[in-house]
Each structure stands twice: as structure tokens, then as C-alpha cells.
A and B are shown apart, each in its own frame.
Chain A
Amino acid sequence: MSSVFENNSLQIKNLTIMRQQTPLLSLNETIKGGDVLTIMGPSGSGKSTLLNWLTGMLPKEFQADGQLYLNDANITKVASYQRNIGLLFQDALLFSHLSVAGNIAFAMPKGDSKTRAIKISQALSDVGLAGLENRQPESLSGGQQARVALLRVLLSQPKAILLDEPFSKLDSQLRQETRQLVFEQIRQHQLPVIMVTHDESDAIAANGKVLHLKTPQQDI
């Protein structure tokens, strides 16, 4: 786990997202590998919409203007499945038709099945889930599911990671542990991260730049 990309970066250039001609948000940011940009703001301020744009899944109700660079490659027009941007939501969204190992294997690149299995076991024990390979996702606790979801994203070898309120469904003890684990792993991989959260303590733990989105003007 020592793959270090020195020049990893995610760059948002002159972004404006509009909904029905009214601007929702404007942004101009560069996130370096290992850094976390925290986005906060009231409900409806466009946080999830921003993440949707970053993943190339902006609903057609919105129009966006601006450029997105990943490691100096312009990916503004690249399809979502070719962006190499990992996603982590508040729900683990594990596939219920696959086992824990299957969920992680789903995300890994193709390869020899033995090597893959060894990597999965290693990764599971790294996050304290040793031996849970063949369990069904539903039989795991919320915290365990969150960790499997994290592994799933990390082992897909993304070049950047987006977190949408990833810890909001965990209780405070678990929240702290999981958060620590996530940030630790992400720093190890030197990935640029954008995190959306409502929680100050998340922002403090992220130890990076914090951006506050404002509620857009409403037409009455």
C-alpha cells in the first residue's frame, strides 16, 4: 500500500452550476493529493449537486459551466465510468447479492483470483474485519458496512475520492473511529478528497480547507 502519486490533484476551474437560469453555486478550487476539501452549507445549497457534477452524473435539470482536471487531464466531458473518481455515501450501498469479499472484488481490477482473494483478506484484516469474507452485507453492523464500503472504494484504485456525509449514520464513538480510518487510508494513498458534511467535528478532523456554501436566492 505504498503507491504514492506525488502530483495527484483535483482541480475545479471556474465552475458555475445553474438551475433554471438561477446560479446555484460557483467554485474555483484545487485539491492536492492527501488533502481534504470540506464543503459545508445548509440543506439545498447544492452540495450533492456539486458532487454529481464531479462524477459526471449531473441531472439534466441543471446546467454547468467550468472545467474539471484530474491529475492535469481535463475530464469535464469524460463519462462517469471512465473518471476514476470514487464515491462514498452515508449509506454503504453494498450489493446485497454479493458477499463481503464479492463486494470488494467487484471494485478491484481484473486479475488472478487467488491474488485478489489474498488482497481482500489483507485489506479486511487491516480495518479489523478479518475473516468476514463470506458474510452477507446485511448481516454486518453499520460500522462494519461503512468499512467494507471504504475498502471497496480504495481497492478500486481511484484517483480521487468524494465523500457525501459519509459518517452521518454512525453513532459518535463509531463515527470517530471510522473517520480516523478513512482519513488515514486516504492520506496513505495520497488521494485528493472532497467531503460534504453537516458536522463541525468532521470538518475539524479533516484538517483541511473548509468551504461554506450559501443558500441560493429563491424566487418567490
Chain B
Amino acid sequence: MSHKLTSNSLNNRPLKDETKLLDTLFSTVVKFSPKLLIAILILPVLGGLLGVLLPAFGWLPALDRTQFGLQGFQQLVQTPGIAQMIGLSFFSSIVSGLLAFVITLLLLANYFDSPWLARIQRLLGPILVIPHAAAAIAIAFLITPSGMIARLLSPWLTGWQSPTDWLLPHDPYGISIILGLTLKELPFLLLMTLGAIAQPELNIKLQAQYRVALSLGYYPITAFFKAVLPNIYPLMRLPMLAILAYASASVEMPLILGPNTPPTLAVAIMNWFHDVDLSLRIKASSGAILQLFITLSVLFTWWLLEKLTQAISSKSLSNGQRTYGDLFWSKIINIFTLLLIGFIALALIGMVFWSFAGYWQFPLALPEQWVIMHWQSALLQVQTPILNSLSIGLVATSIALILTLLTLEFEKQNGAQLSRFSSVIIYLPLMIPSIAFLFGLVWLQEAVHSKATFINVALAHLLFVLPYVFLSLATSYRLLDSRYAQVAASLGASPIKIFLQLSLPQLLMPIMMASALGLAISFSQYLPTLLVGGGRLNTVTTEAVSLANGASRRTSAVYALIQMLLPAIAFSLIWLISMRKKRQKAQVKLNNKTASYITKVNR
């Protein structure tokens, strides 16, 4: 509003009709984009939930079932092993969440004031964009009886000359699932926490209070737990809940690492939905509702644990005890950190070895023969999946970017952030188990006879890409100095001109980062691609998952590596561009310095 006033009062020349039209169009688009963004997120999720809720209670016109009833739930209860499925889902998510949380705290506590924290952050950061499926495959290869761990320990320690049958992976207790989930959740939680405490004001306060605790005689780890953690836990809660919600209903990890008889509930639901026996769809829908309750009870359990810990520990916070064996724990954490990094490195190296391995007898740690055959044959077959991955990713990410930028522009023009309601909605697809609404979504799409597979899949990806793109761009956009825009407006620039020629160029790097993140998220989607695409649209990720449990380990390794390479390429491009920009800036600075030096000398 104020832009227009100033521009008109300063420049009395009449605006051309064309630009006027463009301006009105732009302001209309900007005005509607927040609503569109919310609608795109909320309609499929709610519609999908409805599309699960109705069949869950027996209403499925496609099968001529139009009577409400509880048969679905009855069948569900009578399923053999249902209690085990529930237990597996519940405990694997709680335990993995708890482990990721505890490890994050130990790393923070031990390295809070040390340069190692930043180093660990840089080491673990890339794992964030490794798709769950690829990570699961890497871990499966590591812990399997003929995997790298067994090879390194044999025969000198174990005495094994051939792979011995041990529990992992696919163990009935879900230990492998827990291992996979923990390793994948840990970097997420750590990076989210570090991002949150990097806010300048908070960071200064935390550092100062930590030092106060040290000066009062508190040993470093105890100082962290007693003086720092209570202040940062509130910032960890939301990412923590997101992790738990995801873990309780994830499909890729249990599919690749979990047991089959019975599997986790989410995997079972997926199998029922895919059964040729269509009547199982009713049971599957009831299962999806049950899944929602399990996820809720996992979140509730976390809340209970939080309250319990608070109640137990509140007294000891100020009991004056300065150390709880800090020096011992510090050593343990150092060793653990080394093991952790070694474990991850070994998993990745093992996968590279497998992808190039020819003949590779058991206890040997290195392949006896190196071949590129697996890559060659995979590359021949993977072209279509790669093209599909790329095109779906590009479409979903572009839509997400445009919507996000317009919505943030709306915020800026109106000088207000999104309402609380809208901010919660943005998290919705991350918090509601996708298995609980994606089937409903498919059913809805079938109901309206939408046959455009590609668009359907891209829109389903958008649900998961949009939240991340929004979250990653929002901070930078909101920090953008509005004085530039005010100056430009006072010089007569229209809002669209300011948006295109001022705001966007200033945000180039954050936009690139958000795009790479969006692409990485889209590349890693398994369930939406599989379900919404109805198996007709194969991406690298769906191929990798379907190969993980059957095909040769070597082919599977190649696919998992390709899965990791796609986001890695996206991020490397961004990195290269940012380095170039930095060098240009340094060049400009140098030139300025030289210039000022020359002027000085000349004077």
C-alpha cells in the first residue's frame, strides 16, 4: 500500500496500462498464494484421511459395500501377530527416538565448547539428505552375516570361515530397524538443535550461562545438563515429535531391515492394501486408523517421559553436585563418537565395495576382483527411473518454491507472519503418518477418475517437499532488510519489480539451498511414489527398495549409491555456485582495497 502511494506521489508520470495490469495481477496472485498453499497441504491430507476413515468403517462402494460396520476392525484384531506388529511399531519408534535424543545430548554435552561440535556437524550433515531407503540398504549390508562388520572381525576374533547365521538384519525384535532409524534421526535432531541454538541472542546467553556454571565448579558435561539443556529442550521438542511420528509409521526402514513374520504395522497395512484380494482394503483402512492411534500414543508416551524426567530431575538440578563421573563419561563419549563415525563410514565404504565387487569370498575385507559390470548394467536400466525422479522432483520443487516465495512476499507486504493455524498446517504432512492418508488419497483420485499419474505423483511429493522448502526459506526471507524495498519503492519501482529484481536476487543462495533440499526430499519419497503412482511410475528410490530384498547385493548397492548421488549432485552444484560467488565478492573486495591503497598513495 505504502509503496504505491510513495511511487505515485514522487512520479507524476502516468503508468502504462500494461504495467498496471501486471501489477494488479501480481498483487492478486500474492494475495491468494497463502490460501492456495494451505489448501494444497490441507485438502489432500484431510481428504486422504476421510478416504481411509470411510472404508475403515466398512463403506467402500467400489466393492459394493455401503453399510457401516466394524468388520474391518474385527478382522484386524483377528490377524495373527497383530499384537507383535503393534509392539514392533511402538517400541522401535520410541527406542530409536530415545537413542537419537540421548546420543544428541551426549554429543552436545561433550563437545559444547569445542571445535569438534562443528566438525561432527559437518560429518553428519550429509547423512540428512541420504534417502531412508539407501541408508537402510547400507546398514543392512553392514550388519548382515556376510557384511563388513563380520568380515573385519573374522576369522581372527570370531573364528568364522563362512557367514554364520546371526540375528541381524530382519531380527524379530526390531533391533535392526532401531539401528537404522537412530542413525538416520540423529543427524536430523542434532542439526535442528544446533540450528536453533545458533540464533545469536540465545547463543550468547547459553554460552555465558555455561561459563557461569563452569566457574561455579561444574564439570563440563554436568554443566551442560544442568545449566544449558533445560533452556534448549523446548527447541528440540518439535523436531523430536516429528522424528517419533515418522518412525512410528515409516515403511522403507522396516521393509529393508525389519522382520517379515510379522512385520511392523505400517508395512503390514501396505501389504494388505496391495493384496489382490480387494476385500483386504477394509482391513487395511482400519489398520491405518489404528496406525494413527499408535503414532498418537508414541507422541503421548514421549510427553509422559518428558514430564516424568522433569519431575525426577528437578530437585537434582540445584542439589549442588558438580560431577557425575564426567571425566569417565567424556572418555566413553569420545570412544562412542569414533565408533559412530566409523560405523557410518564403514557402511558407506562397504556399499561402494559391493557395487564394484566381482569375486569376494567371505572373511576377506576387500573384494578379490573389481568390476564395473554392475554399474554398467544398472546404468542401462536406471535411465527411466532417473528421468522420472528428476522430473517429479523438479515439478514438485518448482511449485513448492513459487508458492513459498509468493506466500513469504505476502507476509512481507502485509507486515505480518502467517497465523499460528497456518504454521501448524505447514507441519501437517510431517506429523501425520503418510500411510494413514496416502491410501485415502489414492482412493479419492480413483473416485474422481484422475488418470494423470505423473501429476498425481508430483502433487503427492509436493505435500512433503513444501514444508521443507518453506521452513528453509522462511528465515532468510523474513530477515531480508525491508529498507532496500522501501528505497526502491520510493524511487518508483512497482511491487513486482521489487520482488523480481530485488528480493529474488538477494535471496539467490537461500533459494538454491531450498531447491536442493526440495529435490532431495522428493528423490527420497517411496510411499507416495509407489501408492499414488500405482506402481506405474518407477523412480530410483522405488527401484532401490524393490531390489533391496531380492536382487543381487551388488545391483542393490549400485542403486542405493545412485540414490545417494542424486541429492549429492544437487548440493554440490549449489556449493560450487556459492564458492564462485564468494570468490567474486573477495575479488571485488580486493579491487576495492587496491583502489583505496592507490588513492592513498597518490595522495
Residues of A within 8 A of B (CB): 55, 57, 60, 80-87, 89, 91, 93, 95-98, 101-103, 105-111, 113, 116, 152-153, 156
Contacts and interface: CB of A to CB of B under 8 A. Distances in A.
Contact of A97 (B205, B317, B322): B317
Interface string B325-350: 00000000000000000000000000
Contacts of A116: 320
Contacts of B115: 60
The 5 A-B residue pairs with the shortest CB-CB distance, nearest first, are A97-B230, A105-B318, A110-B320, A102-B318, A87-B215
B318 A80 contact: no
B321 interface: yes
B317 A106 contact: yes
Interface residues of B, number: 25
B226 interface: yes
Contacts of A96: 231
A106 B208 contact: no
A85 B215 contact: yes
B211 A106 contact: no
A9 B107 CA distance: 38
A107 B215 CA distance: 10
Contacts of B227: 95, 106
A106 B226 contact: yes
Contacts of A156: 216-217
B223 interface: yes
Interface in B182-226: 205, 208-209, 211-220, 223, 226
A212 B183 CA distance: 55
B381 interface: no
B211 A55 contact: yes
A81 B317 contact: no
B217 A82 contact: yes
Given A82-B217, A106-B216, A95 B211 contact: no
Contacts of A82: 217
A81 B220 contact: yes
B214 A81 contact: yes
A210 B134 CA distance: 66
- At the interface, is chain A mostly helix, strand, loop or mixed? mixed
17 contacts: A81-B214, A81-B218, A81-B322, A84-B217, A85-B215, A86-B215, A86-B216, A95-B209, A95-B230, A105-B319, A106-B216, A106-B226, A106-B227, A106-B317, A116-B320, A153-B216, A156-B217
A213 B209 CA distance: 27
Contacts of A84: 217
A81 B215 CA distance: 5
- At the interface, is chain B mostly helix, strand, loop or mixed? helix
A113 B319 contact: yes
Contacts of A83: 215
A97 B320 contact: no
B358 to A, nearest CB: 49
Contacts of A111: 320
Given A93-B208, A156-B216, A81 B319 contact: no
A98 B322 CA distance: 16
Contacts of A55: 211, 214-215
Contacts of A87: 211-212, 215
Contacts of B226: 106
A81 B223 contact: yes
Q: Which of B208, B209, B216 has the most CB of A within 10 A?
A: B216
B216 A107 contact: yes
B85 to A, nearest CB: 40
B592 to A, nearest CB: 16
A110 B319 contact: yes
Contacts of B319: 105, 110, 113
B67 to A, nearest CB: 56
A98 B214 contact: no
A91 to B, nearest CB: 7
Interface string B520-544: 0000000000000000000000000
A162 to B, nearest CB: 8
A105 B318 CA distance: 5
Interface string B557-589: 000000000000000000000000000000000
Nearest to B227: A95
Contacts of B220: 81
A81 B580 CA distance: 44
Contacts of B317: 97-98, 102, 106
Contact of A93 (B209, B230, B321): B209
Nearest to B204: A91
A80 B320 contact: no
Nearest to B323: A81
Given A55-B215, A95-B227, A109 B320 contact: yes
Contacts of A152: 216
Nearest to A91: B208
A195 to B, nearest CB: 16
Nearest to B233: A97
Contacts of B318: 98, 101-103, 105-106
Contacts of B320: 105-111, 116
A80 B215 contact: yes
Contacts of B217: 81-82, 84, 156
Nearest to B222: A81
Interface in B127-163: none
Contacts of B205: 93
Nearest to B211: A57
A91 B227 CA distance: 16
